[in-house]
Amino acid sequence: MGTENEKGRPANERAKQARRLSTEKKILDAVEGLVAESGFDGLGINTLAAAAGCSKELIYRYFGGLEGIIVAFMQRKDFWSSGMPLKILKDSSIPINVRVASYLKAYARSLRADPMFREARRWEISARSAALRKVAVDREIASAELLAALGSEHEGDIAAYLAIVQAGLTYLLLRAPVLPTFYGVTLTTEEGWSRIEAAIDDIGKAIFR
């Protein structure tokens, strides 16, 4: 009997863990639907519980409250923790200017393709939340890893260059739905973004002469 109980316990734990992961996914999927409908300002525990079809107690147990849910959702939509940026920047067989330009273009393409990613970035800029502090700390850790992947065999303040260009790309993409041109460059067409990506290539060449 003891052996059977020992064998059964891991299986029960695995089933319990699978149920939890399934419920967490259902809750985060519901968050995405609510944010798409009314932004982060419309997100609340009662509304979320109804949308996810679970109890408020379960949400608190799994995420610790609304702040924890927002952190989990932001991490789900986080470009930097996806592994792709580090893979791009670590490939030392590719010239460093090409790696940097590829990283910046991958960021812009992700932001263009995913409205939830854009909404998350918009909320980061405007909100005042403890959740943002957690996201910001994680982001800085990821940024340090990316900079380390580039090595130190180059001149100039690469961190500042990346901060300026990436912030500029974020601004252009967040304003595009309302103000679709900037300096005559169209922000809502493939032609306009081809111009921007060509400029990113030029910036990479200029930084790493």
**Lowest-confidence range among 19-28, 39-48, 92-101, 125-134?**
125-134
**75 domain-assigned:** no
Question: Residue 180, CB half-sphere, CA atoms under 13 Å: how many?
Answer: 7
Q: Can you say whether the dihedral through the CA atoms of 53, 54, 56, 61 is positive or negative?
A: negative
State the average pLDDT for the chain.
Answer: 87
pLDDT at 2: 46
100 & 182 share domain = yes
pLDDT at 68: 87
178 & 131 share domain = yes
Helix/strand/coil percentages in the chain, nearest 5: 80, 0, 20
Looking at the 3D structure of the chain, how many domains does it have? 2
Q: What is the pLDDT of residues 118-155, one digit of tens each?
A: 888 888 887 777 777 878 888 888 889 989 988 876 77
Nearest CA among 134, 117, 131, 112 for reference residue 32: 117
Q: How far is CA 57 from the centre of its chain?
A: 27
Q: 121 CB contacts (<8 Å, ≥6 apart)?
A: 111, 170, 174
pLDDT at 150: 86
Q: What is the pLDDT of residues 69-112, one digit of tens each?
A: 888 888 887 787 778 898 999 998 999 999 999 999 999 999 99
> What domain range includes position 147?
80-207
**23 domain-assigned:** yes
What is the band of 8 on the pLDDT scale with cuts at 50, 70, 90?
low
Q: 9 CB contacts (<8 Å, ≥6 apart)?
A: none
92 & 178 share domain = yes
User: What is the rounded CA–CA span in Å between residue 160 and residue 166?
Assistant: 10
59 & 89 share domain = no
**169 domain-assigned:** yes
Q: 132 CB contacts (<8 Å, ≥6 apart)?
A: 124
Classify residue 106 as exposed, middle or buried by CB count within 10 Å of its CB (0-12, 13-18, 19+).
middle
The answer to whether the CB of 165 falls within 8 A of the CB of 179 is: no
Query: Among the three residues 70, 96, 130, which one is the final residue of a domain in this structure?
Result: 70
Task: State what percent of residues in the chain have pLDDT above 90.
Answer: 47
